[in-house]
Amino acid sequence: MQAAHATAARVGGRRPGLVGWLLLCPMLLWLAAFVVVPTLILAYASFTRADEDTGFPIYRGGLTFENYRRIVLDDDGHFLRTEQEEITTVDRDGTERVTGTHATTVIAAPYLRVFGSSLLYAGITTVLCVFVGYPMAWYIGRANERTRNRLLMLVMIPFWTGFLIRTYAWITILATDGLLNGLLQYTHAITQPFGMLYTPGAVVLGLVYSYLPFMILPIYGSVEKLDHTLVEAALDLGAGPLATFRKIILPLTRPGIAAGVLLVFVPAVGMYAISSLMGGGRTPMIGDVIQNQFFTGRDWPFGCALGITLVAMFVAAFAILAKFRSSVTGSDHAFRAR
Amino acid sequence: MNDATTPTRTRPFFGMALVNRLCGWWTALVLAFLYLPLALLIAYSFNASRLNVVWEGFTVRWYREMLANEPLIRALKNSVLIAGVTTILSVVIGTTGAWLLHSYRYRFRRLWEALVFVPIAVPEVIMGIGLLILFTAVAPGINGFLDSAFGAANETRFALGFVTTIIAHVTFCFPLVLVAVQARLADLDPAMEEAALDLGATPLVAFWRVIVPCIMPAIISGALMAFTLSMDEVLVTYFVCGPESKTLPLEIYDNVRKGLNPMLNAISAVFVAATAILVVIAERIRRIGR
Amino acid sequence: MKFIRVLLLLLAVLALPLTTFAAEKREVLNLFCWSEYVPQPVIEAFTKETGIKVNVENYDSNEKMLAKLLAGGAKYDLIQPSEYVVESLIKQGQLEELNRASLPNFKNLDAKFTDMAHDPGNKFSVPWMAGSVGIVVNTEKIKDEVTGYADVFSGKYRRRIVVLDDNREIVSWALATLGIPINDISKDTLAKARPVVKGWLPQIKAFDSDSPKTKFLKGDVDIGIVWSGEAALLWRETKGSGKFRFVLPKEGAHMFVDSLCIPKGAAHREAAEKFINHILKPEISALISKDFPYTNPNTAARALLAAEELGNPASYPPGATKLDIFKDIGKTAREIDRMMTDLRSR
């Protein structure tokens, strides 16, 4: 193990020569041209004012922090707001009646609330994806090569049908007069069809369905690489399956899980369209709200500010995480050395 | 290894076997979940009713209509081309990038890693509009250069089209490959590359002969993700594509918005079947080649 | 690596047919239109007659079109904006003036849809289709008389309502119930509309501007406020059985007019004008009505429509409720977005 540690330091720790830099150049140039430049243009735009008619940024019209202020605070400059909410009860015939009031404190800025709910949705989605995806990735990773490649293809094929087509298929299944309700009624499990669509649950289902493969594939990569003799050794030494999983398997597949979390959570926060298709648009997500600034709100600078905030948030979280790890997805050279 | 003879070993091994068995069942269950919508859309592609509501009898009408729909077929071809080129470029950039960032201690390495991460985090509308602004800003310059370089007879024009679409797709696809490969490199035994280097291989040969075969599963899963994303993206594509480079998801999006059209079920079914068959053939070729 | 080689091989095979497209050289028309709004037969007939190849690109909202058009990355010859966008584009000098001499079929249009407030004298735009926004009721589930917005949101149909996912529309309905003109949008009028909208939102089951008819057909909603074209399709789908009734709200309905315009600097103006003249032909215009039963502004085309099409009450509503049109509201759009995001995100 000492030797392994030493070589780890040598391979991962070489200073790049000219060749090393030249090889990295294509990627860096690509990133500079197609990521850095557009992002900087829009970051600059996020400090401008919007043209009154078109909503486009006025690039030469002076700079302002107004857009960022509007994300955090409401029109009156408040961060929190106390509201008198009416308590309503719904009568048996469906009519609403006001029966009282109570005070609630909410975050005043609407856009900040949307950020919050998007993070929550993405978080739930990521956790579900890990739990659903891990056993599957494990099974695929432990199968023989032929089965493995077939299973991988099987996982990806449904996603080549087009997002809207898949989503419409789900809508057909979940609708009030849809297949699932029909099946449940046919088997007498329920007597009245109930509305599954256009609920937060349907949004989560849509998100999990969309992102599951992006969790399975990276975990699979780690599992496939896992040295099975370590698992056998632990079992031989009397550790139960659970302890083996916790002490050996989980730490060794952690890079895969981290990569999966990255590929699911981050895009899921910015996801658009699912909330309007599966959730009926009742709980807007930040991806939709950002789009609205460009497409209906006619305020490009504000849309840019929202987008840049989202990116900045992630990059910051990413940088903090990276400080504690030797590489993005968590290297376990440390584990090896131990 | 003969487990049956040593009773102390049977229990944990039995436990692991059970776990694997359970994982197998779980995999089947999840696959059923993944294929439920697919099965449904294939079924409805043969349904005589225009609406996905009730079964009104078997028909191949939608397949005939699909084949006669020139824009749809052209979009399918465009999409396959764009996704294919995107996948190859993403694999090349992503794999080399991951390996370089893994094996050298670059100055500002954290910054480069964070930059790779930006395309994953940036909302699609922001990326689409950013790239559109960039492409329109540089187009006159590039076209001026092309004209002066090739003279007045120059027909090549830089405009929104295949090139811009592929650039955009690679930009959001290659980080997926990079992240997948990096996760695998993280627990690659460094002794392997060391041994190759010690035996006199140049770093490039060591990479090609030792590292790449080792990380192949991660490359394949990265390539699959890149292909899938490229086949599925709508919003960035809307901003950067030209009239002749319209992709299938965009064409589907335009057609499905006002309610599902069974013709689109049909083209999805055909596409899925065709790719599945191609993959099987590719696997056969690979096995014969061995 | 064999994987990559196989991939390359497959790619080469698949890319082969693509090369044939590059060789084509003929006159083209770059049409930028609403998705599913220009039927394929209309385009095919045009190409057959003139030999001009039509490249179609689509958008699903006026602003999405503006974003791509005004960024200037692509060159379009013909666009299809709604009336308030036409007004705004004229104001910004972004449209080419039409040459009326090349549009002899303009005479087929109903005078009600020409010379409208957004483009006096039709110097820049020619109407394509018009429609209104109204209430659809599933009469099998809802027996009460529903006549206006207030009835929809009476509290009786909680979580059975679908509305357009369009913040300006929703606000305009609230203004209408308060008796405020729908184009009078200011901080002041928005403050008045706010409590009304706030009371409405919890009753809504889904927001959908794309295909609310599907939600009616699948039983997810029983009542809603939608485009008249959606209502017309529902009426057609149920073969006029009266299951879905279309009502123009008594508080005051509004209409929209989608038009064809030529953006500034279009490369193929002549082809664009030929296309406009083409769709003004009665038989071509009737083709559009066949696919999209909105209100056809073409009198000569209406004469070709079957009696049951003309009897579709959502396409050609009887009676005379006053119909307003939306005016361009510029920066107040963001005030609406702000208020609606605030109300919807809780």
pLDDT of residue C19 exceeding 60: no
Give which of C1, C4, C19, C28 to mutate to test B binding, by max B Cβ within 10 Å: C4
C194 and C158 housed in the same domain:
yes
What is the mean pLDDT of the segment spanning C215-237?
A: 90
Nearest CA in chain A to C3: A149
Residue B5: predicted pLDDT: 41
> Do the domain assignments include residue C60?
yes
C111 and C176 housed in the same domain:
no
Q: By the CB < 8 Å criterion, does A54 face chain C?
A: yes
What is the mean pLDDT of the segment spanning C261-281?
A: 94
Residue C322: predicted pLDDT: 61
**Alpha-carbon dihedral angle through residues C82, C83, C84, C90, given to the nearest 10 degrees:** 110
Q: From CA C177, how far away is CA B275, in angstroms rounded?
A: 55
Q: From CA A211, how far away is CA A156, in angstroms rounded?
A: 11
C329 and C296 housed in the same domain:
no
pLDDT of residue C242 exceeding 90: no
Residue C203: predicted pLDDT: 94
For the stretch B24-42, pLDDT in tens is: 999 999 999 999 999 988 8
For the stretch B65-109, pLDDT in tens is: 888 888 888 898 999 899 999 999 999 999 999 988 888 888 888
Whether B286 and C11 lie within 8 Å, measured CB to CB = no
C208 and C302 housed in the same domain:
no
C262 and C249 housed in the same domain:
no
C288 and C304 housed in the same domain:
yes
For the stretch B210-229, pLDDT in tens is: 888 888 888 988 998 899 89
For the stretch C25-59, pLDDT in tens is: 678 899 999 987 898 899 999 999 999 999 888 88
At C7, is the pLDDT very low, low, confident or very high (cuts 50, 70, 90)? low
Chain A positions in Cβ-Cβ contact with residue B120 (cut-off 8 Å): 262-263, 266-267
Residue A157: predicted pLDDT: 86
pLDDT of residue B231 exceeding 60: yes
What is the mean pLDDT of the segment spanning B237-244?
A: 88
Residue B133 in tokens: 């602004």
Q: From CA C124, how far away is CA C115, in angstroms rounded?
A: 11
Interface of B with C in 44-103 (CB under 8 A): 51, 53, 69, 71, 74, 77-78, 80-81, 84-85, 87-88, 91
C162 and C228 housed in the same domain:
yes
- Degrees (nearest 5) of the Cα angle B259, B261, B266? 145
A287: Cα within 13 Å, side-chain hemisphere: 23
Residue A74 in tokens: 């409401």
C330 and C244 housed in the same domain:
yes
Instruction: Give the torsion sign (CA, C42, C47, C52, C57).
Output: positive
- The domain segmentation of chain A, as residue ranges, is 80-108, 111-337
- Kindly report which listed range (B133-137, B210-214, C119-123) carries the lowest average pLDDT score: B210-214
* Minimal C-alpha gap between C326 and chain A (Å): 14
Does the domain at residues A111-337 carry the CATH identifier 1.10.287.130? no
Residue C191: predicted pLDDT: 94
Chain B positions in Cβ-Cβ contact with residue A22 (cut-off 8 Å): none
CA-wise closest residue to C125 among C181, C72, C80, C176: C80
Report how far apart, in Å, the C-alpha atoms of A246 and of each of A185, A240, B10, B172, C287 are.
Answer: 43, 10, 20, 34, 67
pLDDT of residue C96 exceeding 50: yes
C114 and C39 housed in the same domain:
yes
C218 and C334 housed in the same domain:
yes
Nearest CA in chain A to B183: A255
Q: From CA B121, how far away is CA A305, in angstroms rounded?
A: 14
What is the mean pLDDT of the segment spanning C182-193?
A: 93
Residue B288: predicted pLDDT: 67
CA-wise closest residue to B279 among A253, A221, A299, C9: C9
- Count CB neighbours of A101 within 10 A: 11
Question: Do residues B75 and B250 lie in contact, with contact meaning Cβ atoms separated by under 8 Å?
Answer: yes
Nearest CA in chain C to B78: C18
Q: Please give the domain boundaries of chain B with CATH numbers for all domains.
A: 53-289 (1.10.3720.10)
Report how far apart, in Å, the C-alpha atoms of C28 and of each of A239, A303, B185, C78, C285 are.
Answer: 73, 35, 51, 12, 22
Query: Tens of pLDDT along chain A (338 residues)?
Result: 344 444 444 455 677 888 888 889 999 999 999 999 999 999 999 999 998 877 888 988 889 999 999 899 887 888 888 877 777 666 666 666 777 777 888 888 889 999 999 999 999 999 999 999 999 999 999 888 888 888 988 898 888 887 888 888 898 889 888 888 888 888 888 888 888 889 999 999 999 999 999 999 889 988 888 888 888 888 888 887 788 888 888 888 888 898 899 889 999 998 888 888 899 888 889 999 999 898 888 889 999 999 999 999 888 888 777 766 644 444 443 333 32
> Do the domain assignments include residue C227?
yes
The complex's ipTM? 0.84
Nearest CA in chain C to B275: C10
> Do the domain assignments include residue C111?
yes
Residue A181 in tokens: 């309700």
- Kindly report which listed range (C1-10, C78-87, C328-337) carries the lowest average pLDDT score: C1-10
Q: Which residue has the higher pLDDT, C98 or A332?
A: C98
Residue C60: predicted pLDDT: 84
Residue B47: predicted pLDDT: 86
Residue B72 in tokens: 């749809």
* Minimal C-alpha gap between B78 and chain C (Å): 8
What is the mean pLDDT of the segment spanning B16-20?
A: 80
CA-wise closest residue to C180 among C193, C197, C167: C193
Q: What is the CATH number of the domain that holds C336?
A: 3.40.190.10
State which residues form the domain around C112: 24-130+257-310
Whether B105 and A15 lie within 8 Å, measured CB to CB = yes
> Do the domain assignments include residue C14?
no
Domain count, chain C: 2
> Do the domain assignments include residue C304?
yes
> Do the domain assignments include residue C11?
no
pLDDT of residue B50 exceeding 80: no
The 8 Å CB, 24+ separation contacts for B275-284 are B275/A157, B275/A160, B276/A153, B276/A157, B278/C10, B279/A153, B282/C6, B282/C7, B282/C10, B283/A149
Provide the β-strand partners of residue C227.
Answer: C133
Chain B positions in Cβ-Cβ contact with residue C72 (cut-off 8 Å): 136
At C320, is the pLDDT very low, low, confident or very high (cuts 50, 70, 90)? low
Name the residue type at position A184: L
Q: From CA A244, how far away is CA B16, in angstroms rounded?
A: 10
> Do the domain assignments include residue C208?
yes
